Amino acid sequence: MTRADVLVVILAAALLAVLYAHFWSAPTLAAQVRVQEGNQPPRIYALDQDRVIRVRGPLGDSVLRIRHGRVRFVSSPCRGKICVHAGWLSHAGEAAACVPNRVSVQVLGQDPRFDAINS
Amino acid sequence: MPSIPEEVAASTGQVRIATGGADHRIAWLAALAITIHIAEGALPSPLPGIKPGLANVVTIAVLVQYGWSQAAWVSLLRVLIGSLLLGTFLSPTFLLSASGAAASISMLGLASRLPGLGPVGYSVLAAMAHMAGQFTVAYFLFIRHPALLHLLPVLMTAALIFGMVSGIIALMMLNGLRTAHS
C-alpha cells in the first residue's frame, strides 16, 4: 500500500464520519405541545416547564403531564386508554389522542419532521 | 476460421473487423470479470445494495497493468453481458449497476491522473463512487424518500470495507503476477 492509498482510506473514513453525523443525528427534540379539545382553538404549552394540565372533554377530565421536555396522558375517562398507553411523547411530530374524550396532543418542534402521514 | 477472399466477403455482405492483442485481452479479462460477477450474484446479500463487488478486482488490475481505457471496456462489458446473462438487462437492477459502474470508472479516470495511488486507493475510490452513483440514481429515480438517506452511511461504510478488501486482493494478485513474470 502506498502513502496515497492510506490517505485515501483516511479521507474515506472521514467522509463516513461526516455522513453518520449528518444523517444519523438525533431527531429534533420537542419544544412545545399543542393540546386540542373538541372544536376549541388549540392551546400551546412549552415543554421546558413541568406541569399538569387538565382538559375538560365530553366524558370528563383528561390529565396531561409535562415533564423533562416530554408530555403524556396520565389519565383519561375513556375505556381503551390508548392515549395513556401511547406513553411519553418527546419528538417533534409525535401525537396522541383520546378520541372518545375528543382531546388530542401533538408535539411541535422548531423543525417538524413530517407535516402529514398517510397510512 | 477459413479465410474468405475479399471480393466474396464484400458480395456476401460480410464485415470483418480486425482485432488486436488489446481486444483479445479485454475480452478475456471481461469474461473473467463476468464470471466473478455472476458467481457473486448467487451469494446471499445481507442488505439490498450491499455486495462485495469482487469483479472490480479485475477492473483495478487492468487499470494498473494496461491503463484506464481498457479498464473502462472491461467494466462496461461486464455490466452489459453480466446483465444479459442474469436476465436483468434494462431492469432497475441493471440501471443501478450501470450507474455505479459509470460513476466508478469516471472516478478511476480522475484517480489515475493522481500520482502515487496504488490498487487499494483505486479500489476504495471506485467502490465509494460506485455506491454514491448507485445511491443517487436509486434515490432520485426510484425511492425519493428521506428515510432512504439514513441508509447512506451504512452503504458507504460497506463500500469502504469491500473496496479495501477488493483492493488488497488486487494488490496481492498484481504482486503475484509480477513475481511470476520475473
**Tens place of pLDDT for every residue, chain B, 182 residues?**
455 555 555 567 778 888 888 889 999 999 999 999 888 888 887 776 688 888 899 999 999 999 999 999 999 999 999 999 988 899 888 999 999 999 999 999 999 998 889 999 999 999 999 999 999 999 999 888 777 888 899 999 999 999 999 999 999 999 998 898 87
d(CA B72, CA B54): 16
d(CA B39, CA B36): 5
| Contact between B149 and A15 using a beta-carbon 8 Å cutoff | no
Secondary structure of residue A102 in the 3-state scheme: coil
- What's the complex ipTM? 0.80
As given in the structure block, the three cell numbers for residue A52 are 399538569
Q: Give the per-residue pLDDT at B102.
A: 96
Is A1 within 8 Å of B120 (Cβ atoms)?
Answer: yes
Q: Does A46 touch chain B (CB under 8 A)?
A: no
Across residues A14-24, what is the average pLDDT?
90
Identity of residue A70? R
CA distance A83 to chain B (A): 27
Of B117, B150, B152, the CB nearest to A8: B117
CA dihedral B11, B15, B20, B25 (to 10 degrees): -140
Q: If you measure CA to CA, which chain B residue comes closest to A26?
A: B150
| Contact between B153 and A15 using a beta-carbon 8 Å cutoff | no
Strand partners, A107: A33
Considering only residues A94 and B68, tell me which one the structure prediction assigns the higher pLDDT: B68
Pairing of strands A70-75, A95-98: unpaired
Q: Does B157 touch chain A (CB under 8 A)?
A: yes
Placement of cell 445511491 in the chain: B135
Q: Give the per-residue pLDDT at A2.
A: 86
**Over the stretch A32-89, which tens digit does the pLDDT of each residue have?**
889 998 888 888 888 888 899 999 989 999 999 998 888 999 999 988 899 999 899 8
CA distance A28 to chain B (A): 15
Contacts of range B96-100, beta carbons closer than 8 Å, 24 or more positions apart: B96/B49, B96/B134, B96/B137, B96/B138, B97/B134, B99/B133, B99/B134, B99/B136, B99/B137, B100/B130, B100/B131, B100/B133, B100/B134
